[in-house]
Each structure stands twice: as C-alpha cells, then as structure tokens.
Amino acid sequence: MSSALGGVMDRELVDCTGRRRSPAAMPGHYAGHSPPNKGRRYPADPPTVEEIVRVMRAAGPGAIGDRLRAMIVVLWRSGLRISEALALAESDLDPGRGAVLVRRGKGGKRREVGMDAWGWQQLEPWLRVREQLPVGALFCIVSGATRGRPWSPQGVRLQLRTIAVRAGVRRRFAPHQLRHAHAVEMAHEGVPLVVIQRQLGHVNLGITSIYLQGIDNAEIIDTVHHRPPPVIPASAGLATWTRPTGEPAAPGRNSAKIRDLY
C-alpha cells in the first residue's frame, strides 16, 4: 500500500515533460502564508518616457526581446492591467480601428481600449513571431516543452526588473508603473479625465485621480504660477458700498468684511 502511495506522490512531483516539479508549484504550498508584500503600498512614481524606451532597447533582439517590448507597449500605450494583457488573444487586437478588446477586466467587466499608431508599430515584430507559435494567448512561452502556453505574471515582473537594471533605470519598474505612466501622459496631453477613466476601466473618477498623483509637484507649481491673469480688471464697475444711516445690517451678513473686499 505504501509503495503504491509513494508511486502516486512521485508522479505528482514530476511535470508533463518528466522534470521534477518544485515544491513551490505544488497545490497548498503557500497555504496559510501571507505574501511578502501584503499591506505594502508603493507610491505613484511612474517611469519617464526616456526610461521606458531605454528598457525597450535593452531587451535586445530575438523572440524574447520582441515579446518583452510588446508587453511594455501594451501596458504603457493602452494602460492595461497585467492580468488583462496576459489574458489577451490574437483575435482581441484590431489594428485597423486601433482597438484592444478586454474580454474580462476587473470585476468581470468587458471594455474596449485604444492604442496609438506608434504602439501598433512596436507590437508588429512580436505578432510576426507569434504566428509561428501554437495557437493560444497573445503573450506566451517562446521555447521549450511549454512553448505556446501563457506567460506568467511572475515571469513578466522578473524580466522587467532584470532588463530595467541592465538599462540603468534606478527606480521600481513594474507592470502597474507603466499603467500609471499611461494615465499621467494622457493627462499631460489634455485628455479629459472621464476618457482616462474609461480607458483604464475604473469605476469612478476618484480612483483615476489617484493614478495622476505621479505628476511632479514642481510641474503643478509651475503650471499654476504661469496661469494667465483675468482679462477683466477686478476694480472695473465696482463702487464702494456703505449702509445708509440707521439701516440695520442684514441677518448673518458681515458688512464690514464685504466693504473690506472692495
């Protein structure tokens, strides 16, 4: 009996290719353990355009580099969540309309988002590579026995961190940071807040405003400081008002303060 049980356990510890599975890949391995980043909040500190392009260049040639550049483009130029990007299929892309279909976003909601022409150009090399791989998710494993299977979120984050270090980017470079960068750049371009909200798939504008906290304080101060003055003089047509002798003040009205304003 024990030998039969041992044989079953041995089979569970081996994957479909015959390789021994890591204990971390076994069901229930992390049961009862909190994730190391539980409760940790990261500031809205999106990378700059120059930093993102440096990482894209550092990805290098070949299918792996094309895949990483395509992932960066989808996260950055369309503002998708990492889970939404990894759930995409080739049929969800509509280059003619410039649209990307999110079949099941946060909360199970379906939406279409836009992506600019430059983004579609950067995506094209990976689409050509993807045509040579088995049918499946848009972003998939490119080699080995699991070729064609979906790429994992952990794999995306690890490769982004590794290439960012290689590119000399001295800040956190994560998938969600690229989504923040998308929101901040659209705000800079004057895109209405409600359009940014719909693009990101947020329930309300309050969540969208949090994404725009990545705007630098110096930029806010400079923008407000250089606002044009009103075109109408503040004193035009205004006369000093005084209450006639003996007339009582209106209830709740501070006449002295009103006179001071003029």
Q: Is residue 72 a contact partner of residue 177, using CB atoms and an 8 Å limit?
A: no
Q: Encode burial over 57-89: b for 16+ CB neighbours within 10 A, e otherwise.
A: ebbeeebebbbbbbbbbbbbbbbbbbebbbbbe
**Catalytic status, residue 20:** no
Of 106, 149, 157, 172, the active-site residue reads 106
Q: Are 148 and 77 in contact (CB under 8 A)?
A: no
Q: Which of 26, 49, 21 is nearest to 185 (CA)?
A: 49
Of 67, 77, 130, 179, catalytic: 179
Residue 33 appears among annotated catalytic residues? no
**In the annotation, is 253 catalytic?**
no
Catalytic residue chosen out of the listed positions 77, 81, 130, 182: 81
Known catalytic residue: 81? yes
Q: Which residues pair with 102 in a beta bridge?
A: 111
42 in catalytic set: no
Whether 172 is a known active-site residue: answer no
Residue 71: its H or E element = helix 62-78
Contacts of 119 (CB under 8 A, 6+ apart): 73, 74, 76, 77, 78
Catalytic residue among 111, 157, 172, 176, which? Answer: 176
**Which residues belong to the active site?**
81, 106, 176, 179, 202, 211
